[in-house]
Amino acid sequence: MSFGDSDVRFDALVDTGNRLRDPISGAPAIIVELDALASVLPVELVQALRAWDGGDAAGSVAVGGDAGVGGSVGEDVEAGNNRGACGAVGFEALSDAAAAIARTQWSSRFRLVPYSSVGNERGIMAAFRPDSVQVSDGIGTVFTSRAIVCVCCSQLSPEGRYRGLVNPDIFRAA
* pLDDT tens, N- to C-terminus, the chain (174 residues): 999 899 999 999 999 999 999 999 999 999 999 999 999 988 888 888 887 764 433 334 333 333 333 444 443 333 333 333 555 445 666 677 777 778 777 788 888 898 888 777 778 888 999 999 999 888 889 999 999 999 998 899 999 999 999 999 998 876
Q: What is the dihedral of CA 53, 54, 58, 59, to 10 degrees?
A: 0
Per-residue pLDDT, 52? 74
In terms of DSSP bridges, do strands 6-7 and 120-128 run parallel, antiparallel, or are they unpaired?
Answer: unpaired
Q: What is the pLDDT of residue 174?
A: 66
Return the pLDDT at 62.
36
Q: Which of 16, 32, 23 is nearest to 69 (CA)?
A: 23
Q: Which domain holds residue 44?
A: 2-173
Question: What three-state secondary structure class fits 98?
Answer: helix
Into how many domains does the chain fold? Answer: 1
